[in-house]
Amino acid sequence: MVAMRQSARLGQLAGIPIGVHWSVLVIMLLLVQGLAQLILPRGAPGHAPAVYWGVAVVVAVLFLTALLAHELAHSLVARHYGVRVRSITLWLLGGVSQLDGEAPHARADLLIALAGPLVSLAGAGVFAAATAAASASGAGPLPVTGLAWLAVVNAILGVFNLLPGAPLDGGRVLAAVVWWMRGDRAAGRRAAGRAGMVLGGLLIAAGFAEILLSGNLSGLWLSALGWFVVAAAHAETTDAVLRKTLAGVRVGDVMTTPPTCGYTSESVGGFVAAVVRHHPHRTFPVLDLDGRLVGLVSLARLAKVPSADRGRVRLGDVSTPVDRTGVLDPADPLIGAAPALQAGGHRLAPVVSDGRLAGIVTSHDVARATELAGLGVTPDRGGAATTSGSQAPADLGR
């Protein structure tokens, strides 16, 4: 599923870390405004603005709770089948369950995908029943309107997510069905990706048609959603191809060794003159005097140091600490590192073995491994996957 960095941690549910992305604030503001100024006044006129805003906040929180239930259903079913769940993050377009691994078989993949939409549809039923109960008990039009809106929105959420195209849950259902029928996981993911790009294109076209035919700019939201679906579907298709192409390839098979590095004690000016200008990388590992990896330094960070200060500022002062960077092991599957490296274009990941820097992997290494696979050749750096820390980097900038 799509990766999403948490901006704030809310706590844990069933042992799963729950967090939110900053974009949740955007959707909350839009929901509360729409409810307080349009939906609630139309359904229950005659109340003070403060009442509408208060009820709108409660309804919006219930909606986010329903989104969380949707994602929690995915996560609990995934965990039932042995897939570790790293976290759940709520964001602008819903939620993301970060799963560490893949379903063991097609049936598990299908049930994991279906769990979220089924919970949303069940939630729609619960809110619909609550709407009927509130109406029958004479609770008044304001709570009835809020509950009815929650019923309709949860029904829309469940049905929309079942549309057959990645990255929607329906795309994962399609992928699981194709995998089940053909016995090929990668073929299922490719089919879901292609379907997602078609679906996204239709959403974009529908949004523009709404703008042209009705003059309603709300079609921009539909087009924006279609663009997101196309982009995410393309990413999933690319990832499916990579997984098939790079199956069995380890980080140590493609890493560059010995790595080009800098030391914490050397000056920015000296490092730029002696190393940076002669090498193609945009990011470099930084070691301490004992040869241990302490962080990474990028050209962008170096450029922020004023020219007059580059002779006295040390690399250790401007490097990003190693605990904030992704560190790989030579035995790691390359496919695990490939998406992040390719997304950054020129990103670099250090490879550490036995506590020592063994090499580096860049997006160029991933591209080369992919092209070699097209030739039917597996990358081989002469047993680099077993490189140990006893081999000191031979190309160190001092």
Hey, which residues are catalytic here? Answer: 71
Cβ-proximal residues to 349 (8 Å cutoff; 6+ apart), any chain: 325, 326, 327, 328, 337, 340, 341, 360, 361, 362
Between CA 90 and CA 58 the distance in angstroms is 17
Residue 19 CA: distances (Å) to CA of 24, 85, 99, 219: 10, 13, 15, 30
- If you count them, how many residues does the chain have? 398
Q: Strand pairing of 356-362 and 260-263? A: unpaired
Between CA 363 and CA 351 the distance in angstroms is 14
> Which position has the token pair 């193609």?
280
Angle at 74 between CA 70 and CA 76, to 5 degrees: 110
263: nearest Cα among 212, 330, 314, 338: 314
Residue 103 CA: distances (Å) to CA of 75, 97, 336, 346: 12, 14, 16, 31
SS3 of the chain: helix, strand, coil, percent, to 5: 60, 15, 25
Between CA 189 and CA 238 the distance in angstroms is 10
Which SS3 state, helix, strand or coil, does residue 47 take?
Answer: coil
294: nearest Cα among 262, 272, 269, 271: 262
How far is CA 344 from its chain centroid? 14
> What tokens does 50 get?
């403060």
